[in-house]
Every structure is written in structure tokens, then in C-alpha cells.
Structure 1
């Protein structure tokens, strides 16, 4: 049974104290993505954290879309996010949208104006930035700051009614232009944007800023613990200010944790979109992408991702996790559930000259030796087979135990064969091997005669099914980068290799998202996008082994 209980951490300690003190009676968390891109593995950490915490405390988790910026949001992203959360194995209590609360957010802004805590600003974006000051120098007050409540109410309503152009005016909270926290220096809480919204259409031409909308969303939904990443720590005073002065009934608490950083991995939706826009990858679901849809298409399992997220835990300080740790959990999950089979990725034909022409025999093999309950499969064997090109060398070095002239190897699940002759084309390239087999050495018959040091895999040639194999390497070759240089300089030009080979004929039954362990090559997934009835496409999920130690 899957262990869903998260280990002790500082967030659980806070929740335990809040429950003990009676501050909250039920735990409510939320996962609040912006629908401006596809989710990635970093979001998976937040999903697992929020849903697992609520589950452990018999609470609930809302899926909420922070859709306050219509210029970057799209229904496609909403749909993909819902699919990703469900695929990871979670069901939300309520499906929410920030846009559902726009009326209440507007009313709360009017309340702030009436309390003298918000004002309409005439300064441009650049002027607001100039007036804000620096980390070392306080800001200075805008001329608009002294406007009367009546004038601000009138201007804000006219903003809502569409009387002003984009950028002509904004609504700012009136807090403290001398605050040491620059986020508290009269932040903008509403801006004008004459844009169609995916949920509200053309009803609004003013939209709340995230820092204002987010605490109100939490309060409206009764969220108790608003868990976000460390970059929002400096905005917590503003979060608390909005909750306090907007006079909402619920009092959510913001808690920050360190986001996930993975080696050789871009963890920014903006950068991931750039990779797509500049054709480095084929889309959000490209198997090289760290998006959940990309990982799913490549063949990662939700069980492995959940186990990985639980193992890395949560902390208050930044750290970088080796991507091999994620791959480790994929291997651990697949090793007992994936059928074992053979595939030849770069084929070399072998003719077994002393095997009867036209004869095909069926050999028995376990589907998964580590899981005997999966039963056995049958493999055809005949006079002609394919082996890997790398399993033959005409002039091998010492300690090369695979096939070479005069040497004998074992065919996995079959017989010993000996290389007798090498057939070449006019350019001198090896195109075929002629071998003999020893019928007394059939695997599974208890043969105890001579030994051979090498075992190679193979596929029977006359019934083999052709397939395309996509072999992946890290999309980003370095994680560290100087601020002055583009991360695109670190894109690996060899992140994808496509080869054409063969699989066992029983692969006729393979369907999209089926996973297999190919002997010596690793774990592979049937690509759900490119595979057709005429063409099998396999994505390599991970290799068989890694130097990583948990």
C-alpha cells in the first residue's frame, strides 16, 4: 500500500499548533496555478504537498485557477492543469477560479477606498517605479495620494466602466512609502486591461493584481494554510494587510517553503515557453520537457512522481535535487510491473546456417522474473535473427565477451551461437553474420555443459515488428548560468536520438502508454502521440542502471 503520510516538517508543526490552539478546526489547502502554461515537476511537489497535508488531517484541497491576467491565460492551460492533477491521483474538493470572485474583489477595493486605504494613480509605470525608491532609499509620495475618497471612488468606477486606456490609471493600496519592505510601498492592486477573459468574457476591463487577489481568494474559500514558495515571503506582510483591511471573515495564514530545483532542468514556465516558441522542442508535452504532460508522455508514472515528491520533503532553504533521484523512483516503480522483452535498436542480421530452413519454434520466457505472477510469454526463434550492431566486433579488444569471429555467445532465452563468417558490402561494411548454433544448449533444458561469458539479446527476423525508438538525454546540459548569458546557450543539441529497429512480434498488442523493460536498453513507453497502427514509437523513460544512491 502506498505511504501517503508525509514526514514531519515545519509546515505540519505549524498546523499542529494551530489545531491545538483552536485557531482552525478544519484544514483547508489549495493548489492555485495560473493558467498561463502547462504544469511542471516543481508544481507536482506543490500538488503532492497540499493534497497530502489535507488528506492527513482529514481536510480538503481546492483546485483554484489564479486567472487574473487575461493577456496570458487560455482555456487550453485550464484543461491541461485539471488533467495533470487527476493523473497524479488527486481529486479536489472544489474547482475555483479567481475570476468568479471579481465582483467581490471590486467591492473590497471600494471598501479600501472608503477607508482611505486605496487611491487612483495617474503616474505612469516608469514614474511609479521611480517614486517607489530603492532597497536603501525610501520612496516618495505620489501627487495622487492626497485625492479625496469621493474623487477616488468616482475615478475607480470610471476605470471599471472603460473610460480610460490601458496603463492610463491604476488603483494603489495606501500603506507606507517609507516601509523597509518595498512591497508595502503603495503597491498597485488594480490595472486596466481591455482584453477578453477566458471565463468572464468582456465583462471587465480592470483586473486585480495577484498580490491583492490571492489573499482574498484564500479568505473567500476558507483556506486555512496558504502554502507557497519562498519568493513570496517578502509579500507576506502585504498578504496579511489585505486580509486585515478588507474585513474578510476568514483569516488564512501564508506559509512559504523552498521550491524544487532539479539539476539540468529548467523550472520556469517563461523559459519552457521560450523553448517551444523557438522550436527547441515540439511542444509542452515533448518528452524532454519537465512538464507533467511531458513526463507522462515519456512514460513516468504518477506513483513514481508522488514517491519522489514525498521523499524530498519540504524545507525553508533552497537546495538542488539530482534529477537521477527522480529517475530512481521511476525504476523502483516500474521494475515489478513492467513486462520484460527484447528489442534490437540498431540491427545486424544473423543467419544461423545449420538451423532448418522454414522452421520456427517457440521458446518460453518469464514476463518479469522479479514478479513471477505475471506468467510467461513465448518468443519465436528461426534461422534468421537480428542482434545489436554493438554486440559484434570483427577485431575486439581484450575482455570483449560478445560476438566476434570464432567466438560463441548465448542468445538470451535460446541457444549458443558461434560466429563463422562475416559478410560485407562493397565498401567493407559488415551487413550480415553467418553463425552456427548448438541444439544441445537450449535455454531452460538444464544444460550444464561448457560455459560462455557473453549473453546477448536478439529478435527473430521474419516475424519481428519494426519500431522507432527515441532515446533522450538532458535537455539542459548545465544548471548553473551567469546572469548575462541566455539559458538557451545550455540547450543540449544531442538531447534526442531517433533510431529504427525491431521488437518481438508479441508487441502487436502494445498500446499507447504501455511500458516495457527492454533487455539491456532500459524502460520504454509506447508514445501516445506518434504511435499508429502501422508504426510503433517507443520513448526511453530511463536506462536500467544509475550510479545514484538514495
Structure 2
């Protein structure tokens, strides 16, 4: 079930630190509980919530797109020649540094976001509106005009257009993360953990009977090229996904970067796939 005392699913100090807990958060948690001779069974939520408050202000922001079902969005008036712009890794923390963001005519978005666009398009057709305006994070607005689906209803391709230069940026209901279609994207494995046992407390029952066989989920994804610079133990936030810690850094294209999801105090076990 686990690989050792430092397995990220195991409730040892080594395990929870490997999963992304800062020692300062553990110290703060201990001090807040105070000294007592009584044994207390406590939830993990408070500890991880303290940890979130420590890592959130300083964590660099990056982008990842789940590979399964990802959709190509072609912007007809997008840049014919890709260009790079430096963007802060954390707009509220200058010391996080900057990252190179490449802008291209063709970009990847996730299937769930493509479906949200398709749903909005279906509504807009009833209102005689021909396109859906979306917001591409760190870029701006775009209008999606054409949607292609397969026989199962999955979106397979999108086509759209950028607004004219000088247009006023509009607030939209659909804000998307995206990645450029370039060879330099980082291969990722996103790992989510559930609880090792199915009960909060083991009392006079066989440990084997309460083991949770579905306590780990791995998701193949693509990440922005800047993530190839991550080192083991680096903590980051993936936009619209949550906080992660790098367990295995980048070495070569055939070996993905492994990122462990860090609980934020609202953890639920990963859903079965």
C-alpha cells in the first residue's frame, strides 16, 4: 500500500513533509494545540489550512493542461510567428521571479473548458449570438466561433478570433488556462492522494478490513516549459487546480515531472477512474 516511512500517504513527519507540509506550519499547529496529557484525535484540515496560508502568498504560479481529451483552439488572427513575453510568476510576490510565456496561433485547452464553451454556445444560439467570448488567462479575450464534436459529444476542435488591437478587455464568465502548441512543453504526472483507511479511528477492527484501495490517482498532463526548472521539493500553484510539490524533477522528455497535490484543508478522496 505504501513505499516506506516517507510515502506521501503515510502520516509520518517525513510523509507529510514530502506531500508539501512546511515545518513552520507543523510548529504553528503544535503551538496552537498547547501542551496536554490527554490524547486527542484531530482532523487534518486545520494543519493543511495553516500550511496553505504560508505557501499561498509566495508560491509561483504555473499552468498545466490534462492531456486526456485536450482540445486544440485555433485563433485565426493569432500570431503567425510565436513570441515570448515575461510574466510574473506571482503577481503579488515579486521575489517569485518571472516566467517566459509563449503566444501562438494554436493553443491547448482542457476538455472540461471546451465543454463549457460548447454549452455556452448552445445557449447563445438560442439568443442568436454567433460566438462565445472567453478570457484566456494572461492574454485577454477571444471569441470562439466554431466548435467540432465527435459522435460521443466530446469537443475535438475549436476555432476563434482575437479582438482587434486596442479593444477594451471585457469580463467574461469563462476564464481559461491554456498552453501554446510548442515542442518545449513539460510532460507531467499529477498525483492526488486519498486516505489510507476508510474510517477516522481504528477500534477493535482488523486493519486490513478498512484499507482504502483507491488512495492514489495519477493524471497525465502538459505543463508550461518553465516547469522544467523545478527542483525536488519546490512548491507551486497550478492555476485553477491547486498547490503541488515537485517530487521528481525534469530530466528528459520521456520521463515526466511528478507533482504531488498538496491538501488545502478541504481534501476529499480522489474519485475512481
Asked whether the two chains share a fold, i.e. TM above 0.5, the reply is yes
* Structure 2: distance between partners of 1:418 and 1:306: 49
Q: Of the candidates 223, 231, 247, which is equivalent to residue 527 of structure 1?
A: 247
Q: Of the candidates 106, 114, 119, which is equivalent to residue 395 of structure 1?
A: 119
Q: Alpha-carbon deviation of 1:524? A: 0.8
* Structure 1: distance between partners of 2:258 and 2:87: 24
Deviations 1:409-431 (A, max 9, x none): 10110021222223334655333
Asked which structure has the greater RCO (Cα within 8 Å, sep 6+), the reply is 2
Partner of 1:383 in structure 2?
A: 105
* Structure 1: distance between partners of 2:60 and 2:91: 9
* Structure 2: distance between partners of 1:454 and 1:427: 23
Normalising by the residue count of structure 2, what TM-score does the alignment of the two structures yield? 0.81
* Structure 2: distance between partners of 1:531 and 1:466: 8
Q: Which has the higher strand share?
A: 2
Q: Report the CA distance shift for 1:430/1:301 in structure 2 as closer, same or farther (over 3 A).
A: same
Aligned length: 255
Pairwise CA RMSD: 2.8
Q: Does 1:421 align with 2:143?
A: no
Q: Which has the higher helix share?
A: 1
Partner of 2:206 in structure 1?
A: 486
Equivalence map 1:98-497=2 (5 Å):
280-346=1-67, 348-356=70-78, 358-393=80-115, 394-395=118-119, 406-425=131-150, 428-440=153-165, 448-462=168-182, 463-483=184-204, 485-497=205-217
Q: Alpha-carbon deviation of 1:349? A: 2.3
Which secondary structure state, in structure 2, belongs to the residue aligned with residue 440 of structure 1? Answer: coil
Q: Alpha-carbon deviation of 1:461? A: 2.2
Contact 1:336 1:370 in 2 (8 A): yes
Partner of 2:226 in structure 1?
A: 506
* Structure 1: distance between partners of 2:164 and 2:139: 9
Partner of 1:156 in structure 2?
A: none
* Structure 1: distance between partners of 2:236 and 2:58: 9
* Structure 2: distance between partners of 1:504 and 1:327: 27
Q: Report the CA distance shift for 1:439/1:523 in structure 2 as closer, same or farther (over 3 A).
A: farther
Q: Report the CA distance shift for 1:305/1:430 in structure 2 as closer, same or farther (over 3 A).
A: same
* Structure 2: distance between partners of 1:506 and 1:334: 19
Normalising by the residue count of structure 1, what TM-score does the alignment of the two structures yield? 0.42
Q: Alpha-carbon deviation of 1:325? A: 0.9
* Structure 1: distance between partners of 2:238 and 2:74: 23
Larger Rg: 1
Contact 1:346 1:389 in 2 (8 A): no
Q: Alpha-carbon deviation of 1:518? A: 0.8
